[in-house]
Structure 1
């Protein structure tokens, strides 16, 4: 008999697996077309970017976990934590699916510094969801000030190293600004 307290965690796993199946059905590559799966891939703007386990955009998915935890704590405080995790996972998996549609890929190419973006491999997407889960867990365990410090730290790190990050990515996707794009491409 299934322990009812574990049900949300089984549902979470099911959502992750369902998301991977949807991405495969959409024609996304399971792994990098180069034939390898690296634990870290640092170059951006290459065909192999977003195809390996982790990359410079992995921290943004960790930050999704922090953001989803605090948002769901704000709007669904009475919902048990396991079911809030299910909701966060559904949001992240939904984003991974949307992010890998032709419309979103074309939007990234036309409005952001990611002119060579071809989408993610399924392995990369599942790792992104895993980092969101880690961020959610950390946000639950750490004091708010530590969560905020991690978010600011990763945003500053990616802004300095690759001139991008979650905040810049969202701004450029929703409302592109020439001065940001000029700064990003100057590096």
Structure 2
């Protein structure tokens, strides 16, 4: 029997969805295979390193996503800061499906002992902080003020995802996105 074909986008979305909902330790290879539409043997063939390799690939995707949809948007020249902020917030809203999805960084940081995951999670968070810091500096805040606001934006979004998921109310996520906007617009 010939292995099933699956495009990379659908593969990553399926894998990320399972890791977001079940975490690294809770996700079984059966869950991961089912979410992608692949047979377990095909998943092994594509990822001989198993769940470790899958998690690393998903975090690589997340880092690239943050670079493309947050960092590049917030550091783009020739665009008004408020427009950049609105675009970045819209991308965040889409990534987390309006607060319905858990934070992948949180899900993978909770229970995995893999050092490489910690490094990739740290890179993703630092990229976020750097992007929002650049926006804050452009808005006239000192570097220290901008960095504080950037860290607060990460705390608000990620924390709101935990609350939204735990309490079954995406309103926390929507409020947090408004609060992030206020951090940089209203001062």
Q: TM-score of the superposition, structure 1-length normalised?
A: 0.30
Higher RCO (CA 8 Å, separation ≥ 6 residues): 1
Greater helix share, 1 or 2? 2
Q: TM-score of the superposition, structure 2-length normalised?
A: 0.30
